């Protein structure tokens, strides 16, 4: 009899269980303190109980943990400098959505050589998050694969659901069980409805298929996540201007959702060019200073050095501290923008 299932499957490779990797790489008391305090601070900002500006800054994607740690040390120092007015969190992205094909991120392919050693990817990602949190620096990432939260979500202060997945029922359900605030990006076509609907779905109790800490297929039952909010990343046109923000505020008010808007300075708001991020940052900062209290935060794609480079399998030929995915602003630019915001706020 001919096989009727898994016809196109070449191989199944077992994964380490979430429980095993948590035991191997545990959360210490100091790390837990950073995470719990970090989440509480973001929740208070979203609810307008804390008037600091939330800024999530860091590489478009992590491919070199040494460079990521150097960046983290710099950001931690800057965080302490501006902490009175700005809550700085490090962007630590391990997954990259692909329109067609390409490198999918550190978890999926940690050695950049198409070996797809996901177990090592989990260990690298979890180890990096632990080390950054140990510094006292909270972390943020985008969740793309719904299995991954069981492995790393306990180390995160803030999570994004991307423009391509905000419409996905799977990701809305997953967001309802996450333990931290979740930002939903508007769709790539610029529309807001998918993100608004995602906030409503994630805020409600859900029943869906997932995995438990042992890695077993399970039905997951959630209470809902009350801290979903919208992230504007542009579309065919930028959407960080006062008119676009006014439309967002109106929709949020109509649906009785959190009046809290984060602006992504990259992606379509900057025309995918790193030099555009500074302009977006300053424009949104001015709107906040002029009284738009709906603006609670900004996102920057930032690395040690500006621009990007082509990803290749020869790690030694890559320029240190330069993105292999989207263009990033340099650390010097980042530092200047954050200090400027601190002076003006």
Is residue 273, in this structure, part of any structural domain at all? yes
Going by the DSSP 8-state scheme, the letter that residue 271 receives in this structure is T
Q: Are 296 and 54 in contact (CB under 8 A)?
A: yes
Which residue has 């972390």 as its token pair?
139
Dihedral angle sign, alpha carbons of residues 132, 137, 143, 148: positive
Q: What is the DSSP letter of 17?
A: P
Assigned domain for 39 exists: yes
**So what's the pLDDT on residue 99?**
61
Amino acid 100: pLDDT: 60
CATH number at residue 251: 3.20.20.70
Residue 150 counted as domain residue: yes
DSSP H helical ranges for 27-110: 29-46, 65-82
Q: How far apart are the first and last CA of the chain?
A: 72
For residue 116, tell me if it sits in a domain: yes
Task: Note whether residue 218 is domain-resident.
Answer: yes
> What confidence score (pLDDT) does residue 312 get?
77
Could you give the 3-state DSSP secondary structure of residue 331? Answer: helix
Report yes or no: 135 and 86 within 8 Å, Cβ to Cβ: no
Report yes or no on 7 lying in a domain. no
Percent composition of the chain: helix, strand, coil (DSSP 3-state, to 5)? 40, 15, 45
Residues 6 or more apart whose CB falls under 8 angstroms from that of 118 comprise: 13, 15, 107, 108
- Whether 3 is covered by a domain: the verdict is no
Q: How many domains does the chain contain in total?
A: 1
- Is 129:139 a contact under the CB 8 Å cutoff? yes
Tokens 């930028």 found at: 238
Closest listed residue to residue 183, CA positions, set 225, 122, 245, 224 = 225
Per-residue pLDDT tens listing for the chain (345 residues): 889 999 999 999 999 999 999 999 999 999 999 999 999 999 999 999 999 999 999 999 999 999 999 999 999 999 999 999 999 999 999 998 766 678 899 999 999 989 999 999 999 999 999 999 999 999 999 999 999 999 999 999 999 999 999 999 999 999 999 999 999 999 999 999 999 999 999 999 999 999 999 999 999 999 999 999 999 999 999 999 999 999 999 999 999 999 999 999 999 999 999 999 999 999 999 999 999 999 999 999 999 999 999 987 777 889 999 999 999 999 999 999 999 999 999
Continuous segment of H or E residues that includes residue 296: strand 295-301
Whether 265 is in a domain gets the answer yes
Half-sphere exposure of 338 (CA within 13 A, CB side): 32
Return the ∠ at Cα 251 (arms to 246 and 252), rounded to 5°: 95
Which 3 state secondary structure label does DSSP give 48? coil
Which backbone phi and psi does 145 adopt, to 5 degrees?
-90, 125
Q: Which domain covers residue 288, as residue numbers?
A: 18-344
Note the pTM of the prediction, 2 decimals. 0.96
Alpha carbon 158 to its chain centroid, in Å, reads 7
């Amino acid at each position: 009899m001919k096989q009727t299932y898994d016809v196109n499957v070449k191989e199944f490779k077992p994964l380490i269980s979430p429980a095993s990797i948590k035991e191997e790489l545990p959360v210490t008391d100091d790390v837990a303190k950073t995470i719990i305090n970090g989440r509480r601070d973001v929740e208070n900002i979203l609810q307008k109980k804390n008037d600091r500006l939330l800024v999530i800054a860091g590489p478009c994607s992590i491919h070199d943990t040494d460079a990521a740690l150097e960046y983290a040390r710099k950001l931690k120092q800057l965080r302490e400098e501006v902490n009175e007015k700005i809550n700085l969190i490090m962007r630590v992205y391990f997954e990259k959505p692909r329109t067609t094909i390409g490198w999918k991120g550190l978890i999926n392919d940690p050695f950049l050589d198409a070996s797809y050693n996901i177990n090592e990817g989990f260990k690298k990602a979890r180890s990096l998050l632990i080390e950054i949190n140990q510094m006292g620096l909270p972390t943020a990432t985008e969740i793309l694969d719904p299995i991954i939260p069981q492995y790393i979500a306990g180390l995160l202060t803030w999570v994004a659901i991307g423009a391509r997945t905000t419409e996905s029922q799977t990701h809305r359900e997953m967001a309802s069980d996450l333990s931290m605030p979740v930002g939903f990006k508007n769709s790539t076509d610029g529309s807001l409805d998918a993100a608004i609907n995602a906030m409503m779905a994630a805020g409600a109790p859900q029943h869906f298929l997932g995995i438990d800490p042992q890695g077993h297929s399970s039905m997951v039952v959630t209470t809902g996540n009350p801290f979903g909010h919208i992230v504007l990343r542009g579309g065919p046109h930028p959407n960080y201007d006062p008119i676009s923000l006014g439309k967002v505020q109106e929709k949020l008010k109509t649906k009785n959702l959190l009046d809290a808007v984060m602006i992504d300075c990259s992606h379509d708001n900057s025309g995918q060019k790193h030099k555009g991020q500074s302009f977006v940052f300053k424009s949104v900062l001015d709107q906040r200073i002029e009284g738009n209290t709906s603006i609670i935060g900004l996102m920057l794609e930032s690395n040690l050095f500006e621009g990007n480079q082509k990803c290749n399998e020869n790690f030694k030929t890559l320029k240190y501290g330069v993105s292999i995915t989207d263009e990033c602003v340099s650390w010097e630019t980042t530092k200047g923008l954050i200090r400027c915001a601190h002076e003006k706020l």
